[in-house]
Amino acid sequence: MRNYETIFILDMELTEEARAEQIAKVKAVIENGGGEILTVDEWGKKRLAYAINYKKEGYYVYVTFKAGAETPEEMERIYRITEGILKGLIISLEK
């Protein structure tokens, strides 16, 4: 298993419950793929460097985890098709 980090930006128009659901969904993808979540850090509301879908602010979430090579691919797919997620990035950490 490799170490990864991901950051994703949620739409600020989501309610607290919907935001928690999106975070839980990302965690579930990692755990269902046989991965292990190391940290989840909610950075909160921040101004975007540029507008994404005409939105100027987003809710940032940073996660570090261990997983196999298939899990990041599935997460990227989830990031693209989930309506409440504006952007997502996954990086493999090298030792």
Q: Are 49 and 24 in contact (CB under 8 A)?
A: no
Q: Indicate if the pLDDT at residue 87 is higher than 70.
A: yes
81 lies in some domain: yes
Mean pLDDT, rounded, of the chain: 93
Q: Are 81 and 94 in contact (CB under 8 A)?
A: no
pLDDT digit string, tens, across residues 36-57 = 999 999 999 999 999 998 999 9
Range 6-17 average pLDDT: 94
First to last CA, the chain: 12
pLDDT digit string, tens, across residues 53-73 = 899 999 999 999 999 989 999
82 lies in some domain: yes
Q: What is the pLDDT of residue 95?
A: 66
Q: What is the DSSP letter of 48?
A: E
CA distance 72 to 67: 8
Q: What is the CATH number of the domain that holds 45?
A: 3.30.70.60
Q: Are 12 and 56 in contact (CB under 8 A)?
A: no
pTM reported for the whole predicted model? 0.89
Domain of 8, in residue numbers: 2-58+65-86
21 lies in some domain: yes
How many folded domains does the chain comprise? 1
71 lies in some domain: yes
Q: What is the pLDDT of residue 75?
A: 93
